[in-house]
Chain A
Amino acid sequence: MTAVQQPPLPPPEVVAPGAAATELKARGFRRPIAPTQARSTPAFLRQWNVILLALVAAFAVVGSIASLVMRAASETTADNTAPALIGIQDLFASVAEANTAATAAFLATSATGTEDRVNRNLYQDAIRRAAEQTEEVSAIIGSDEAAHEALKQISVSLNVYSGQIEAANVANSNDLPEADEQLRDALRVVKDDVGDAVATVTARGQSQLETERTTGRILTWVAIALGVVTLVALLRVQAGLLNRTNRILNPLLVLATVLVATVVGYLVVGPLARGRALDDASTGGYDAIATTSLIQTSAFDLQSQLSLKLLEGGDAELEPLFAEVSADIEALADGADSAREEAAAEALRIRWERYETAARQIDATAERGNRDRAVELFQGEGLSTFNGLNTAVESVLSDNRSQFIAGVSEAADAVGTTPFLTIILPVLAALAILLAIQRRLGEYR
Chain B
Amino acid sequence: MTRPASQHGFRRRLGRREFLVGLGAVGLAACTDGDVSRSFDLGGTTRVRMLNWADYIDADADDDPYYPGGTLDRLANQIGVSVDYLPAYTDNYSGFDRIVSDAVETSPPAFDIVVPTNWRAAQMIANGWAEPIPIEVVPNHVNIDPAFLTNAWDRGCRFQMPWQAGITGIAYDPALTGGPLTSVADLFAPSLAGRVGFIGEMREAVGLAMLANGDDPSRPTKAAAEAGLARIQDAVDAGQVGAFTFEDFAPKLASGELAAAMAWSGDVALLQSERPDIEFIVPEEGAIQWFDTMVIPAGAPNVAAAGRLMDFVYDPVNAAGITEWVQYISPVLGVQEVLASAGGASAELARNTVLFPDAATRLRLFTWGGLDQADEDALDAQYATFLPE
Q: Which A residues form the contact surface with B (CB < 8 A)?
A: 97, 114, 116-118, 121-122, 125, 129, 339-340, 342-344, 346-347, 350-351, 354, 379-380, 384-385, 387-388, 391-392, 394-395, 398
Residues of chain B contacted by A384 (CB below 8 angstroms)? 145-147
Q: A122-B150, A350-B33, A394-B156 are in contact. Are A117 and B136 (CB under 8 A)?
A: no
Residues of chain A contacted by B142 (CB below 8 angstroms)? 347, 350-351, 388, 392
B17: CB under 8 A from chain A? Answer: no
Residues of chain B contacted by A388 (CB below 8 angstroms)? 142, 146, 149
Which residue of chain A is the closest to B218 with respect to CB atoms?
A121
Closest approach, in angstroms, between the C-beta of A178 and any C-beta of chain B? 26
- Assess the B135–A391 pair: CB atoms within 8 A: no
A-B contact pairs, 21 of them (CB 8 A): A116-B363, A117-B218, A117-B363, A121-B218, A339-B40, A339-B42, A339-B136, A343-B40, A343-B135, A343-B136, A346-B139, A347-B142, A350-B36, A379-B359, A385-B146, A387-B149, A391-B155, A391-B157, A392-B156, A394-B155, A394-B156
Closest approach, in angstroms, between the C-beta of A78 and any C-beta of chain B? 22
For the A-B complex with A346-B139, A388-B142 known, give 17 more contacts whose Cβ atoms are closer than 8 Å.
A116-B363, A117-B363, A118-B362, A121-B218, A121-B219, A125-B150, A342-B38, A342-B136, A343-B38, A343-B135, A347-B142, A350-B33, A350-B36, A380-B359, A384-B146, A384-B147, A392-B142
B216: CB under 8 A from chain A? Answer: yes
B374: CB under 8 A from chain A? Answer: no
| Bound Cα distance from A256 to B289, whole angstroms | 74
Q: A343-B38, A395-B158 are in contact. Are A387 and B146 (CB under 8 A)?
A: yes
Q: Which B residues form the contact surface with A (CB < 8 A)?
A: 33, 36, 38, 40, 42, 134-136, 138-139, 141-142, 145-147, 149-150, 152, 155-158, 216, 218-219, 359, 362-363
The 10 closest A-B pairs by CB, nearest first: A388-B146, A391-B156, A395-B156, A391-B149, A339-B136, A387-B146, A350-B142, A343-B135, A384-B146, A343-B136
Residues of chain A contacted by B38 (CB below 8 angstroms)? 342-343, 346
Closest approach, in angstroms, between the C-beta of A20 and any C-beta of chain B? 85
Determine which of A343, A385, A392, A395 lies in contact with B139 in the assembled complex, contact meaning CB atoms within 8 Å.
A343
Residues of chain A contacted by B362 (CB below 8 angstroms)? 118
Q: A116-B363, A395-B156 are in contact. Are A387 and B150 (CB under 8 A)?
A: yes
Which residue of chain A is the closest to B141 with respect to CB atoms?
A347
| Bound Cα distance from A316 to B225, whole angstroms | 46
| Bound Cα distance from A391 to B151, whole angstroms | 10
Closest approach, in angstroms, between the C-beta of A121 and any C-beta of chain B? 6
Closest approach, in angstroms, between the C-beta of A395 and any C-beta of chain B? 4
| Bound Cα distance from A380 to B155, whole angstroms | 20
Q: A384-B147, A385-B146, A387-B146 are in contact. Are A129 and B363 (CB under 8 A)?
A: no
- Assess the A97–B150 pair: CB atoms within 8 A: yes
Residues of chain B contacted by A129 (CB below 8 angstroms)? 152
Residues of chain A contacted by B216 (CB below 8 angstroms)? 117
Residues of chain A contacted by B147 (CB below 8 angstroms)? 384
Which residue of chain B is the closest to A353 with respect to CB atoms?
B33
Residues of chain B contacted by A342 (CB below 8 angstroms)? 38, 136
Residues of chain B contacted by A391 (CB below 8 angstroms)? 146, 149-150, 155-157
Which residue of chain B is the closest to A351 with respect to CB atoms?
B142
Which residue of chain B is the closest to A387 with respect to CB atoms?
B146
Determine which of B135, B158, B363 lies in contact with A114 in the assembled complex, contact meaning CB atoms within 8 Å.
B363
Residues of chain A contacted by B218 (CB below 8 angstroms)? 117, 121
Closest approach, in angstroms, between the C-beta of B95 and any C-beta of chain A? 29
Residues of chain A contacted by B36 (CB below 8 angstroms)? 346, 350
Which residue of chain A is the closest to B144 with respect to CB atoms?
A388
| Bound Cα distance from A379 to B358, whole angstroms | 13
Residues of chain A contacted by B363 (CB below 8 angstroms)? 114, 116-118
- Assess the A125–B149 pair: CB atoms within 8 A: no
Q: Which of B134, B152, B359 has the most CB of A within 10 A?
A: B359
Which residue of chain A is the closest to B362 with respect to CB atoms?
A118
Closest approach, in angstroms, between the C-beta of B217 and any C-beta of chain A? 11
| Bound Cα distance from A386 to B38, whole angstroms | 25
Which residue of chain B is the closest to A338 with respect to CB atoms?
B136
Residues of chain A contacted by B145 (CB below 8 angstroms)? 384
Closest approach, in angstroms, between the C-beta of B352 and any C-beta of chain A? 19
Closest approach, in angstroms, between the C-beta of B290 and any C-beta of chain A? 15
Residues of chain B contacted by A122 (CB below 8 angstroms)? 150
Closest approach, in angstroms, between the C-beta of A264 and any C-beta of chain B? 43
| Bound Cα distance from A291 to B147, whole angstroms | 26
| Bound Cα distance from A354 to B156, whole angstroms | 16
Which residue of chain B is the closest to A398 with respect to CB atoms?
B158
| Bound Cα distance from A354 to B334, whole angstroms | 13
Closest approach, in angstroms, between the C-beta of B153 and any C-beta of chain A? 11
Which residue of chain B is the closest to A386 with respect to CB atoms?
B146
- Assess the B156–A125 pair: CB atoms within 8 A: no
Residues of chain B contacted by A118 (CB below 8 angstroms)? 362-363
Residues of chain A contacted by B40 (CB below 8 angstroms)? 339, 343
Residues of chain A contacted by B149 (CB below 8 angstroms)? 387-388, 391
| Bound Cα distance from A116 to B365, whole angstroms | 11
Residues of chain B contacted by A354 (CB below 8 angstroms)? 33
Closest approach, in angstroms, between the C-beta of B176 and any C-beta of chain A? 33
Q: A350-B33, A392-B156 are in contact. Are A344 and B135 (CB under 8 A)?
A: yes
| Bound Cα distance from A387 to B36, whole angstroms | 21
Q: Which of A122, A380, A387 has the most CB of B within 10 A?
A: A387
| Bound Cα distance from A350 to B138, whole angstroms | 14
Which residue of chain B is the closest to A114 with respect to CB atoms?
B363
Closest approach, in angstroms, between the C-beta of B103 and any C-beta of chain A? 24
Residues of chain B contacted by A387 (CB below 8 angstroms)? 146, 149-150
- Assess the A398–B136 pair: CB atoms within 8 A: no
Which residue of chain B is the closest to A384 with respect to CB atoms?
B146
Closest approach, in angstroms, between the C-beta of B335 and any C-beta of chain A? 15
Residues of chain A contacted by B150 (CB below 8 angstroms)? 97, 122, 125, 387, 391
- Assess the A340–B152 pair: CB atoms within 8 A: no
Closest approach, in angstroms, between the C-beta of B221 and any C-beta of chain A? 14
| Bound Cα distance from A445 to B283, whole angstroms | 107
Residues of chain A contacted by B157 (CB below 8 angstroms)? 391
| Bound Cα distance from A384 to B138, whole angstroms | 21
Which residue of chain A is the closest to B366 with respect to CB atoms?
A117
Which residue of chain B is the closest to A381 with respect to CB atoms?
B146
Closest approach, in angstroms, between the C-beta of A385 and any C-beta of chain B? 7
Residues of chain A contacted by B146 (CB below 8 angstroms)? 384-385, 387-388, 391
| Bound Cα distance from A118 to B362, whole angstroms | 8
Q: Which of B38, B141, B218 has the most CB of A within 10 A?
A: B141
Residues of chain B contacted by A344 (CB below 8 angstroms)? 135
- Assess the A398–B156 pair: CB atoms within 8 A: yes
| Bound Cα distance from A380 to B147, whole angstroms | 11
| Bound Cα distance from A347 to B134, whole angstroms | 13
| Bound Cα distance from A136 to B36, whole angstroms | 38
| Bound Cα distance from A122 to B134, whole angstroms | 27
Residues of chain A contacted by B219 (CB below 8 angstroms)? 121
Which residue of chain A is the closest to B286 with respect to CB atoms?
A117
| Bound Cα distance from A118 to B218, whole angstroms | 9
Which residue of chain B is the closest to A395 with respect to CB atoms?
B156
Residues of chain B contacted by A121 (CB below 8 angstroms)? 218-219
Which residue of chain B is the closest to A121 with respect to CB atoms?
B218
Residues of chain B contacted by A351 (CB below 8 angstroms)? 142
